[in-house]
Amino acid sequence: TSPQVAIIGAGIAGLSCAAALQDAHCQVTLFDKSHGPAGRMSTRQGDGWQCDHGAQYFTARDPGFRAEVARWEQAGVAAQWRPEVRRFDADGTVSRCSATERFVGTPRMTAPATWLASTLELHADSAISALRREKSGWRLHAQDGEPLERHFDVVVLAVPAPQAARLLRDVAPRHAALAAGATMEGCWAMMLQYPAPLALGFDAAFVNRGALRWVARDSAKPGRVGSESWLLHASAEWSEAHIELDGASIAALLLPAFAQLGGPAPERWSAHRWRYAKAAQARDDVCIWDGGQAMGLCGDWLNGGTVEAAWLSGRALAQRICGA
Ligand code: FAD
């Protein structure tokens, strides 16, 4: 019979692992604590309005990932984004950035994940609080501490490093210590709504001064609908230093920083705190497979902190598990 695999986390790493395992005839079940898949490839949606507030765009340099992105483009869930990008430097200079190849999900960043999940068994709103190794296999415990009925032959953790460390503490202390040692930095995001398009002369900017690191006109991405929306990301250092503030205090500090780039006061705004936005440093292992315990780890934190890295990590783990 085909192995039963539980994957905790339906971000792009978990989905990539799941899809490859399913192609190799494993029985895969995904669990995610959120309402839906995608993880940090996320989009906030409101009344006639939307904004990607996690990953902003992705690269596709690896041939395997390029082929995957081509499938996404064919399915209409991703497209190239060709923004006019500026760079604001600390010495006051403003320059034009060269045209790098950038992709986004369409009509929103969550679309590739939703598309991948459509052919997989995903249990949403299902936070896993503990793992236990029993005689007949892995037993997962739900948020309320209750064990799930089924056992699994293999368990995969496709969650950010701090969350993996917590789940592994009792069952795999060595891997738990490794995950605990991977630093992930926070990021404050602000989503701004305007009644009409802003004429700033750029669609996105890398900012190397003050609190902000990146701003982008979400409405300039392909396939977007709804009113004019802009996204601001603060730098990792600034975000870490202000991580416990509330949204209003963050807005009072970041909106003036956007004004310095020419951005007017928005009609509406919201703020989002990412506690674990990006892996601070890349590691050498693309994924971790412990055959003795039938347990694997994948995710961006193992492979360089990007969407492409996360997808590659998930696929590499599937290959390790069953030659997928
Ligand atoms: P995640 O997407 O975090 O997926 C993990 C999933 O696990 C989540 O869905 C979560 O809900 C779930 N989960 C966690 N704990 C549990 C539990 N106990 N039980 C059940 N489910 C659980 N990358 C780029 O390539 N380009 C960018 O421009 C870019 N910008 C970024 C900006 C920000 C602000 C952030 C936050 C990230 C950015 N990234 C960017 C990084 C990119 O988003 C990630 O590298 C990638 O999406 C990580 O995928 P993942 O599957 O490893 O993890």
Domain boundaries, the chain: 4-322
Whether the pLDDT of residue 282 is over 80: the answer is: no
Q: Where are the beta strands (DSSP E) in the chain?
A: 4-8, 27-31, 43-46, 49-52, 78-81, 85-88, 94-96, 102-105, 121-123, 128-134, 137-142, 147-152, 154-157, 184-194, 204-207, 212-217, 228-234, 268-279, 288-290, 295-297
- When computed from its CA atoms, the radius of gyration of the chain, rounded to whole angstroms, is 20
Mean local confidence (pLDDT), 64-73: 98
CA of 160 to the centre of ligand 1 (A): 7
The two tokens of residue 174 are 């060595």
Q: Is residue 210 in contact with ligand 1, taking CB distance under 6 Å?
A: no
ipTM > 0.90 (yes/no): yes
Summarised one tens digit per residue, pLDDT across range 80-121 is 999 999 999 999 999 999 889 999 999 999 999 999 999 999
Q: Using pLDDT thresholds of 50, 70 and 90, give the confidence band for residue 76.
A: very high
| Mutational pocket test of ligand 1: of 57, 97, 159, 239, the residue with most ligand atoms within 8 Å of the beta carbon | 159
Mean local confidence (pLDDT), 194-203: 96
Summarised one tens digit per residue, pLDDT across range 157-169 is 999 999 999 999 9
SS3 (DSSP) at 10: coil
- pLDDT at 139 (0 to 100): 97
Q: Whose CA is nearest to atom 28 of ligand 1?
A: 56
Q: Is residue 55 in contact with ligand 1, taking CB distance under 6 Å?
A: yes
Whether the pLDDT of residue 15 is over 90: the answer is: yes
Whether the pLDDT of residue 324 is over 60: the answer is: no
Whether the pLDDT of residue 263 is over 70: the answer is: yes
- pLDDT at 179 (0 to 100): 94
Number of Cβ atoms within 10 Å of the Cβ of 2: 13
- pLDDT at 283 (0 to 100): 73
The two tokens of residue 223 are 């396939």
Whether the pLDDT of residue 323 is over 80: the answer is: no
- pLDDT at 280 (0 to 100): 72
Separation CA 205–CA 213 (nearest Å): 8
Mean local confidence (pLDDT), 132-152: 94
Contact 117, 32 (CB under 8 A): no
Atom index in ligand 1 nearest the CA of residue 299 equals 52
Topology of domain 4-322 in CATH is Polyamine Oxidase; Chain A, domain 2 (3.90.660)
- pLDDT over 70, % of the chain: 99
SS3 (DSSP) at 224: coil
- pLDDT over 90, % of the chain: 93
The span from the first CA to the last CA of the chain, in angstroms, equals 16
- pLDDT at 103 (0 to 100): 98
Whether the pLDDT of residue 259 is over 60: the answer is: yes
- 135 burial level (CB within 10 Å; 0-12, 13-18, 19+): exposed
CA of 164 to the centre of ligand 1 (A): 13
Atom index in ligand 1 nearest the CA of residue 163 equals 15
In degrees and rounded to multiples of 5, residue 82 shows phi and psi of: -120, 75
